[in-house]
Amino acid sequence: MKIIMLGAPGAGKGTQAKMIAEKFGVPHISTGDIFRANIKEGTELGIEAKKYMDQGLLVPDELTVKILLDRVAKEDCAGGYVLDGFPRTIPQAEVLDAALDKLNEKIDYAVNVDVPDENIVKRMSGRRACLKCGATFHIEHIPPKQEGICDSCGGELVLRDDDKQETVQNRLKVYHDQTQPLIDYYAKKGVLKSVDGTVEMQKVFQSISDIIK
């Protein structure tokens, strides 16, 4: 069971990926986590990736896929995995497919957590993060007991720069330009499944679980 999670930033695909991984007993694989692990362990691939990251450059697709394939070749991925944050573009998807094809493997499902832009802007601009402990709240959905104060440690709650409306809109533009074409790509391959991401988190999870079953 090899699953790719798709969806705009703030659609909740990371949360769903973790829940799916837990329920079905497969690893949740985030490319960011793999890079950090390889760099920390000082692997050959990690050292190569670090050269690009230190210069503020994107890690090339071929190297990213190499690191990804190195991760999915590990024993815990024998029963499948959930990919979160990769692929982000059509070229990345093509490189991944070509690499999997050589192993006689393929992606089983590309799950798109569908949320309209206006919902995402509202969702993200309502987030508040604690400056002290990093706990997150939402002014509508998970409000703190006392406005502007963290329930956990009493620290100040702030609107992070990357949750500000103009930043979210810029991120959505990049998503629509680069990542949304993946929805058509996986639809043509017959593996795309879309779920309504505007409903309550558990309902989204139930929809995805029903697809995977």
**What is the average pLDDT across 78-95?**
90
Q: Which residue has the tokens 């394939």?
A: 69
Burial label for 17, CB within 10 Å (0-12, 13-18, 19+), is buried
* CB 116, CB 7: distance < 8 Å: no
Q: Whats the size of the chain, residue-wise? A: 213
Residue 211 has pLDDT above 80, yes or no: yes
Q: What is the pLDDT of residues 166-208, one digit of tens each?
A: 888 988 988 888 888 999 999 999 999 999 999 999 999 999 9
Of residues 26, 201, 27, the one with CA closest to residue 113: 201
Catalytic residue among 71, 127, 128, 193: 127
Catalytic residue among 2, 13, 66, 71: 13
Give pTM, 2 decimals.
Answer: 0.81
Task: Determine whether 123 is an active site residue.
Answer: no
Catalytic residue among 18, 50, 122, 171: 171
Catalytic residue among 23, 160, 173, 203: 160
Residue 58's contacts (CB-CB under 8 Å, 6 or more residues apart) are 52
Residue 208's contacts (CB-CB under 8 Å, 6 or more residues apart) are 16, 20, 111, 193, 195
Task: Determine whether 127 is an active site residue.
Answer: yes
Catalytic residue among 88, 123, 128, 193: 88
Q: Indicate if the alpha-carbon torsion angle 178, 184, 189, 194 is positive or negative.
A: positive
DSSP 144: -
Average confidence score pLDDT of the chain:
90
Look up the CATH number of domain 2-115+172-212.
Answer: 3.40.50.300
**What is the average pLDDT across 108-135?**
92
Cross-strand partners of 30: 84
Task: Determine whether 88 is an active site residue.
Answer: yes
Classified as helix, coil or strand, 129 is: strand
Q: Domain map of the chain by residue range? A: 2-115+172-212
pLDDT at 37 (0 to 100): 87
